Structure 1
Amino acid sequence: MTGRVPLSVLDLAPISSGSTAGQALRNTVDLARRAEAAGYRRYWLAEHHLTTGVAGVAPALLIQLVAAATERIRVGAGAVQLGHRTALSVVEEFGVLDALHPGRIDLGLGRSGFRAPRPGTPAPAAPPAVRPTEPRYTPEGLLIPAPYDFSSLIGSPLFARYTGLVQFPGSEPVEYGEQLDTILALLRGDHRTPQGIEAHAVPGEGADLEVWVLGSSAGVSAETAGALGLPFAANYHVSPATVLEAVAAYRKAFRPSARLTEPYVLVSADVVVAEDDETARHLASPYGLWVHSIRSGQGAIPFPTPEEAAAHPWTDGQRALVEDRIRTQFAGSSRTVVERLEVLRQATGADELLVTTITHDHRDRVRSFDLLAEAWQRG
């Protein structure tokens, strides 16, 4: 990409209604090849569990699939969920990937959305400022909606399935910053157990990985990324209300490291690009129903067709549940979406943008990425 900040891709390996997980994974390989040809900088695979609409459940496996099918594009996790993993398992998995594809692998680290606190852990500190309860616009024109309360998912069927199957019964989660310290020490090769015993991860030790931290708010993730001098990815597409808080907290906490001398921020956005605004809005119209399936606690459903979405009998409460995500999705012609992405970049000071796109038809999804890359390169 030239003339602007780099663009990268986030892929959930979505399953469309009437399709299969196998087809979704084949679509991922096809899209990755197209993204490399179009000039995107990196291709990240997300991690989701226990849903019928997403095949991206194992980032390391999908990274191997994509890296083997491409030649130059960086491939990584966006992100590995540390709430149910050990530091050693992560380093070994990504050590294998680096050994096979040296210098091309990104290790994105995130906290599980259903991570239970360690017994005796004090309650998190209050947010740095009172959040607005009404949508607002930044001076650049970026919409910052009212915050969505993710605590409503606690007690949902998805939460019950998740905690019962993803985490070991009776296990105690390790503090996030401690996990990151251990991962970095294992990669450097200077890890010591509490008893002073050396521990070496092979493959893993000395791996040429780009380590990233992903976060949605001004909390532990942003502060830890800054304190460790790591690059930070903030989620406008998941939590648009808190993206500015997250970026500000990261920059405030940043300390130079061997990796970075100054903060480096990547910001995500959900987009759909087509030949004109009307077509793009039509292709994007199932997005609200899909987001509702997640926020209502079901887990992501197979992505509907526009016709299936149009037939859904919406209630006012259902629309309110997803309004922030619908209003912050960038759907339009390449000119429209480029303008809105540039507003996002200006408002957040992003050094790079991460784009995710879901449409029912894979061909429309590929076309969206192609159109965006062409317009972005024109500057």
Structure 2
Amino acid sequence: MPKHSVTPLSVLDLTPVSAGQTPGDALRSTLALAGVAEAAGYSRYWLAEHHLNTGVAGSAPHILAGLVASATKTIRVGTAATLLGNYRPLQIAESIGTLAAVFPDRVDLGFGRSGPPKSPSDPAPGVVPPTDTPDDRVVDGLLIPAPRPIFGAVLPRKFRLQGELLGRFPGDTDNFENDVQDIIGFFTGGYRTRHGEEVTATPALGQSPQFWIHGSTAGPSARLAGKLGLPFGANYHVAPAGVLDSIAEYRAHFEPSASLQEPQVIVSADVLVAPDEHQAQRLARGYAQWVHGIRSGQGALPYPSPEDALDLPLDADANDLVKDRVDTRLVGDPHQVRDKLRTLQRTTGAQELLITTIAHDPADRQSSYQLLAEAWGL
């Protein structure tokens, strides 16, 4: 009997480094997980971009995407997201064009806008600032937590150092729309210099990766995705407070394009599945500490084992800083997590869900994706 049609699931991999692992171990675990995800029926395998984190090895997503594509046969491979200010548009077009030429009809390019704020008091792009109504709310069964401030009035040194080393400057995200248009133009042949000169970007010209724009707020990224008629990636796993607003903003500004006639949304979720709830909760230990390293500006630390996490308690302020992430992480047995994801899909109206899973043991990550795929009906 054929299976009924189900909402596609895809993978977002940060390439986390666990305590006791080397970055090389983590990168090899990503390649192994990609093979598992492909065999289990996931549609896409996307790589994130993070820098200066000892607990994350996914700092070169274009290179890693090529390795993943080489290690698989059919699953789509891409970035979620390529942070545009960290590169020049031509560099991105040439890198992704290379992948698209070697792996036709398998490459996705996600655009992200993250960068330094214009002033120390402004939130970093993609961060939902706290509001005057700081209460959690439930919308159609989905928890929408109160926004959490990510940093204080002064950006942590690590965040500022990252910007300096990557050549970022306050306000450079104002170029986001032009950069997106330029990159697409290198692929379509529509790029022109300010003097009207045509430029051929080999091997990008003529290739056709699928372009996405990712965002966490009802801000410029959501509006640009709608304006250009591109699919939109909404961020429930990092900034759950803004997910519904960002999707609404995208849909309100959507204009049909040659590639997309109706809005298309993928929503990310942080998920951990185990054979039973007790085991899932045990494997989930360490997540709050790992998120706190990111939220506090220290950077992600190597992910602790469930046993070691018991010796890393957080105080009340630290717990409050990560409460929204912990409360919206979907943890449980396959059927529990399946039902929670169905709620997320129904409430957001997403056409696809993007699953990110972090655990100390790479084998537990693989098992989580396999159990979810089976319960979901991939």
Give how far 1:233 is off.
0.4
- Taking a change above 3 Å as real, the CA distance of residues 237 and 154 of structure 1, as seen in their structure-2 partners, is farther
Name the residue aligned to 2:135.
134
Matches within 5 A, 1:318-337: 318-337=318-337
Give how far 1:44 is off.
0.3
Task: Provide the aligned length of Structure 1 versus Structure 2.
Answer: 369
Confirm or deny: 8 A CA contact 1:292 1:318 kept in the other structure: yes
Mark the runs of 5 or more structure 1 residues left unpaired by the alignment: 119-123
Give how far 1:218 is off.
0.3
Name the residue aligned to 1:81.
83
- Taking a change above 3 Å as real, the CA distance of residues 33 and 153 of structure 1, as seen in their structure-2 partners, is farther
Confirm or deny: 8 A CA contact 2:149 2:321 kept in the other structure: no
Give how far 1:150 is off.
3.0
Name the residue aligned to 1:357.
357
Query: 2:135 is aligned with what amino acid?
Result: E
Name the residue aligned to 2:15.
13
Distance 2:252 2:224 in 1: 11
Matches within 5 A, 1:1-379: 3-112=5-114, 114-117=115-118, 132-138=133-139, 140-152=140-152, 154-167=154-167, 175-377=175-377
Distance 1:2 1:40 in 2: 16
Confirm or deny: 8 A CA contact 1:131 1:147 kept in the other structure: no
- Taking a change above 3 Å as real, the CA distance of residues 168 and 151 of structure 1, as seen in their structure-2 partners, is closer
TM-score, structure 2 as length reference: 0.94
Confirm or deny: 8 A CA contact 1:153 1:297 kept in the other structure: no
SS of residue matched to 1:75: strand
SS of residue matched to 1:79: strand
SS of residue matched to 2:377: helix
Distance 2:288 2:89 in 1: 36
- Taking a change above 3 Å as real, the CA distance of residues 315 and 63 of structure 1, as seen in their structure-2 partners, is same
Distance 2:111 2:292 in 1: 26
Distance 1:173 1:235 in 2: 19
Query: 1:88 is aligned with what amino acid?
Result: L
- Taking a change above 3 Å as real, the CA distance of residues 343 and 168 of structure 1, as seen in their structure-2 partners, is closer
Give how far 1:174 is off.
5.4
Moved over 2 A (4+): 114-118, 150-154, 168-174
- Taking a change above 3 Å as real, the CA distance of residues 204 and 213 of structure 1, as seen in their structure-2 partners, is same
CA root-mean-square deviation: 2.1
Confirm or deny: 8 A CA contact 2:116 2:171 kept in the other structure: no
Give how far 1:173 is off.
5.4
TM-score, structure 1 as length reference: 0.93
Distance 2:159 2:180 in 1: 25
SS of residue matched to 2:250: helix
What are the superposed Cα offsets for residues 58-88 of structure 1, whole Å, 9 maximum, x if unpaired?
1110001000000000000011001221111
Q: Which moved more, 1:161-170 or 1:301-310?
A: 161-170
Confirm or deny: 8 A CA contact 2:8 2:43 kept in the other structure: yes
SS of residue matched to 2:12: strand
Confirm or deny: 8 A CA contact 2:118 2:170 kept in the other structure: no
What are the superposed Cα offsets for residues 269-312 of structure 1, whole Å, 9 maximum, x if unpaired?
00000011111111011110000000111011001111121111
Mark the runs of 5 or more structure 2 residues left unpaired by the alignment: 120-124
